[in-house]
Each structure stands twice: as C-alpha cells, then as structure tokens.
Structure 1
Amino acid sequence: MKSIFRQVALIGKYHAAVAPALAASAHAALEGIAEFLTSQGCHVVVERDTAAVTEITGYPTADVAGIGTQCDLGVVVGGDGTMLGIGRQLARHGTPLVGINQGRLGFITDIPIEHYRTVLPPMLAGEYDEDHRTLMHAIVVRDGHAVFDALALNDVVVNRGATSGMVELRIEVDGHFVSRQRSDGLIMSTPTGSTAYALSAGGPLLHPSTPGWLMVPIAPHTLSNRPIVLPDSSEIAIELVAGRDASANFDMQSLASLLHGDRITVRRSQHKVRFLHPRGWSYFDTLRKKMHWNEGA
C-alpha cells in the first residue's frame, strides 16, 4: 500500500530541552519512524525544534507555520502534552494529526509506539477514522484591553497562588450572572480535557463529539458549587474579584498572571483539531484501556 499523504511532518518533544537519555531515546524513535514513513512513499519533513532537540539529521526541516502550509499530515511522537501543543498551532491550517504514544497516558496519542509499523500503513493509504476536536479561545481582559490571548484544546484554568488562600470569582454565561464563588480555582474544560484536570477535580467525562463545555470548581468553599455542562456556543466570563497571586493557565502550557478585576472570556474557536485514528477506533476502547475499567472481569 502506498501513502495518499505525500508531505508528512514528523513532530516530537519540542517545547523544552529534554534530558540526554530521553533525547537519545527520542532520536532513535524518530529516526526509525522517519525511515519507515519514507519506505511508505512519504516525503518526510521534521519539525525544526524537534530536529534541534533530538539532533535528527538527513531530512528537511520546517517550523510549525511551514508545516501548516507545506504538509498534508502530521505524525506526532510523544505524549498528550506534545499533541496539545502542536494541535493548537496546526488547527488553523486544518492539518490532520496522527499520534504515536511515547508518553504515559496517551488519550490523544493513541498508537502505541511498538505497533506503528503495523498500524500506520493502512492509515497512510486512507483507511482511517477521523474526529474533530473543539478548541477554546480565551482572552484575558484588563481595563478594557486584551492583555493575553490563547487557544486551549484541554482546558482553561484559573488558579489561586501556590502559597495564598482561596480566590473569589464572579462567573457569567452569555452575559447572565451565574455565581460568585470562593474556591481554589475554576476549570473550563473541553470534552477532550474532561479526562485531564477536570476529572481529577470531580468532573464527569464528556464524549468528544458532545458540543459542550465543562465548568468545574476546584475545592469550592460552598459544597453546592458543582460541575455543570454548558453548550459550547456559550461565552463564559470569569472575573477575579479577590485572591493573591492568581493565574490563568491554558492547557497548562501557557500562563497569564491575573490582577483583581481581570476578566477571562472563553468562547469556541472557529478552528478545530483534526485527529486521525486507526479504522475501528473507539473512544470507549480508549477509556477502558487508559482508566483500567473492567479489570478482573
């Protein structure tokens, strides 16, 4: 079988320098995958920072913008954090992504690295399932001016400072006052992020095709402040009323320090992330495997 994808980008851990042993492991994995993709008739382009960190050579490189305009598939090797970072950046280009899991959980990098040689060929030939994941677009507004702007595939989190007490937040949905709550923070999650921080804070799981947001308070002072599912057509506004050293986190990969009176508005992005999965892929299979359901059954 020959690949229907001609220009294939290879992306690994590129956000920060990794330990030498991990870099060597990543180099070996990426080298093997690059050679395999080439054998399938693909022209391989390595993401520029991936090449720099892992010292992989012999292939042309491109930055993320270049990948978005030049490549018709991205193969992401690493964990979910790697996929989160590249997924946000390539969403505007509509580049489909395949995830090969070299991390721990692998909710969105769902091909085990030891199986890529058998799983990838039919996918490259067009035998795959595709799903689209919604992105959040969040803006931090201070004194009427946007001071921070970010996308999130998992979640937008308002947190108290590490050594301070609770924060007090005022929450609106589509301009309607919802609540004023004291807590350790608040999580606004996409369905993709419902298996991440929101789950740890007591939120439910949302199927990826559910057109909704999940709003989950973190250790609320009033126990009747419970998680709630909102339509993803809503615009949510979160105002910091009180609390020291508070911050807003976007997929836990970018951060904005907050002042009293700052408002974080969250709405649905016009872009979506395209994931390709092996034919027959099921979200429920992923849940059973990653969350160890039915063990002992």
Structure 2
Amino acid sequence: MKIALHGRNFNAAARPFIQAMFDELARRRIEVQLSAPFRQFLDQSDVQHHTSLVYDAPADLFDARLIVSMGGDGTLLETVSLVGARQIPAIGINVGRLGFLATVPPERIPDMIRALEAGKYRIDERSMLTLESDTDLFDGLNFGLNDFAITKTDTSSMITVHAYLNGQFLNSYWADGLIISTPTGSTGYSLSCGGPVLVPHSQNFILTPVSPHNLNVRPLVVEDTSVLSFEVKSRSNSFLLSLDSRSRVVDESTRITIRKAPFVARLIKMLDDDFFNTLRSKLSWGLDMRN
C-alpha cells in the first residue's frame, strides 16, 4: 500500500505517537511520501521516518491510495488543497486542538493503520465550493472545503457587500464581513457568527453575516446549485478574501463568484466515527455542569 502524509509542527506530547506510527508503517512495508514542509520539520526533530519521497504540489503526488493529515482541522484543510481535483481519500490524525474534521486521536493510530490496510473504513464525500474571479487570487487553489469569507481589513470601518443570487439582487450587507459556508464548514467560522449547523450531506450553502449593522439580518441557507456573486465597497478601497486556510487582500474592483466545485473532498472515516457523536463530544451538547 502507498500513502502520502502531510503535517505541521506538533508538541512534544505527540512525538511518541508519531514515532510509533512511522515504526508501524515501516514494519508493515507501507510506502510513504511526505509533503515537503512536513519532511523538513521531521528532519529537524528527533522522529526517525526513513522516508525519502517528497511532494511539493498535487502534480508531484505519487499513486497514493490515501493521504494522512497529521495536525488539526487546519492541517486537514491544507491536505485537501494539496489533493485538489485528484480526490485522493484523506484522513486526519488530531494532534491539534478541537479536531472536528481530524477525528483520529493519536493513541488510536495503530488501530487506524490496521483498518486502512484491511479496508475497514468508509468514504465520506463532502461538497466543496469554488471561487471564480477576473484574476487568479490563490495560485490555482481556488476551492475550499469549509468556507469562503469576505471581511474588512485592518480598518475599523464596516464594508458593504452587495450580494446576488443567480444574478438577482439579494441584499447589501453592511457588516464586518460575510461568510459563505459549506455544510462541512457550518461548524466553523459560520457557527461562531451565529450560523446554523448543517448535517454534512445537506445540499446547501450558508450565508452568514459577520457583525451586521442591521441586527435583523440573519444567516440564510440556499441551495448549493446557486451561483453567488459579490461586489464589495470599502472606505480603504480594499478588503480581505479568505478561502479555508488561505487569505489575500484585494481591491474593491475585484468581482467574485462562488459556486459548487465540480469535485468533492473524500474523507476517510473509521467505522465507529459518527457525525452526531462528534457534535456531542466537541460542542459539549447535552453536557450539564449541574449533574
């Protein structure tokens, strides 16, 4: 079996688990290819990985059966961007904080490797969104699994986001920004701004304003077949665009269109990994400190 591996810096507490993972992969003769940044970090650490194959971009990935993300949710989002339209299945080991997408705890790495080798897992296909603009804003990585956000820069003034749904005027949002979220991203930035939680396979987008001037402007759920376009006005003549873990400041002449991506993210889930269990454990649903 061939796998690719991407990761970020990890703390000392995670090191024994990561070393054990590489030892187990070597024992099982599983061929591994590392992302260039993670290989550089491992070379500076005490982890012995015995891996020489490296990739810098999706085109450099070898014929991997799957890709493993080692970090938190942000690392898994980076991993999805490295995979792109190749749709290689990805699984996340959580050596970060919340771990809503990266759901495998470090102590279960041996169980994960055995399950992957035996094919005892399921593939969870998640819809993504794609950004279209008159310029290449994110070096060809114009897609996201979680969300796309339009926000003000470092000024204190609000921005105005004129939003259109399938070419029809929807609303002018006077706010600090506007988030367009997938169902997967509904438990992220959108949720912190008052957006609803959607189950992963809902065929929708969420438009969630960030600190709107008009308090009666609420989050809106639309079909993911919708085409959303935006014009932005700002006193500074610029604003910030964010696409998952990537961001860029652009000027207000930039025209933006968001639609459903023509490919999906394929997330590997262990057979006992359940979305509603994750909701209860990560968001403390049903927890009552009085009991």
| TM-score computed with the length of structure 2 as normaliser | 0.89
Residue identity opposite 1:32 in structure 2: A
Give the letter for the 1:114 counterpart: E
Aligned: 1:148 with 2:137: yes
Aligned residue runs from structure 1 range 272-283, under 5 A: 272-283=264-275
Q: Matched residues in 2 for 1:274 and 1:32: separation? A: 26
- Given the two structures, how large is their TM-score scaled by the length of structure 1? 0.88
Q: 2:35 pairs with 47, 50, 58, which one?
A: 47
Report how far residue 154 of structure 1 moved: 1.0
Partners of 1:166 and 1:197 in 2: how far apart? 18
Q: State the Cα distance separating 1:260 from its structure 2 match.
A: 2.4
Matched, 1:191 2:172: no
Match of 2:218 among 214, 219, 226: 226
CA distance in 2, matches of 1:196, 1:237: 22
Kept in 2: contact 1:47–1:67 (CA 8 A): no
Q: 1:34 deviation in Å?
A: 1.7
User: For this pair of structures, how many residues does the alignment match?
Assistant: 280
Q: Confirm or deny: 8 A CA contact 1:170 1:181 kept in the other structure.
A: yes
Query: How does 1:144-293 map onto structure 2 within 5 Å?
Result: 145-149=134-138, 150-244=142-236, 245-251=238-244, 253-293=245-285
Partner of 2:3: 8
Q: What's the % identity of the aligned pairs?
A: 29
Listed one character per residue, the Cα deviations across residues 182-209 of structure 1 (whole Å, up to 9, x for unaligned) are: 1110000111111111000000001111
From 18, 23, 28, give the equivalent of 1:30: 18
Q: Which residue number in structure 2 is paired with residue 3 of structure 1?
A: none
Q: Which residue of 2 aligns with 1:124?
A: 117
For residues 68 and 211 of structure 1, the distance between their equivalents in structure 2, rounded to whole angstroms, comes to 30
- State the secondary structure of the residue aligned to 1:246: strand
Distance 2:219 2:213 in 1: 14
Structure 1 position 124, deviation (Å): 2.4
Q: Distance in 2 between matches of 1:23 and 1:60?
A: 23
The amino acid across from 2:36 in the alignment is R
Residue ranges of structure 2 left out of the alignment (5+ in a row): none
Residue number among 60, 81, 89 corresponding to 2:52 in the alignment: 60
1:288 corresponds to which letter in structure 2? Answer: R
Q: Distance in 1 between matches of 2:58 and 2:285?
A: 40
- How much has 1:242 moved relative to structure 2? 3.1
Aligned 8 A contact 2:17 2:107 in 1: no
Paired residue for 2:127? Answer: 134
Question: Does residue 110 of the first structure (1) align with residue 106 of the second (2)?
Answer: no
Question: Which runs of no fewer than 5 residues in structure 1 stay unpaired?
Answer: 1-5
C-alpha contact 1:24 1:54 (8 A) present in aligned 2 = no
Query: SS of 2:201's equivalent?
Result: coil
User: Aligned Cα RMSD in Å?
Assistant: 1.9
- The CA deviation at 1:181 is 2.0
Question: What per-residue deviation string (whole Å, max 9, x for no partner) do you get for residues 4-47 of structure 1?
Answer: xx10112211xxxx5xxx47666654332122123334222222
Q: Indicate if the aligned counterparts of 2:3 and 2:32 stay in contact, CA closer than 8 A.
A: yes
Q: Does 1:101 align with 2:89?
A: no
Q: Distance in 1 between matches of 2:115 and 2:247?
A: 40
1:147 Cα deviation after fit:
4.1
SS in 2 for 1:258: strand
Give the Cα separation in 1 of the matches to 2:23 and 2:60.
19
Contact preservation (8 Å) 2:208, 2:219: yes
Question: Do the aligned partners of 2:4 and 2:61 also contact (CA within 8 Å) in 1?
Answer: no
CA contact (8 A) 1:160 1:243 kept: no
Describe the superposition over 1:214-264 as per-residue Cα deviations: whole angstroms up to 9, x where unpaired: 10001111122110111111111111123324211111x222223223222
CA 1:181–1:85 in structure 2 vs 1: closer, same or farther (change >3 Å)? same
Matches within 5 A, 1:64-103: 64-65=57-58, 68-103=61-96
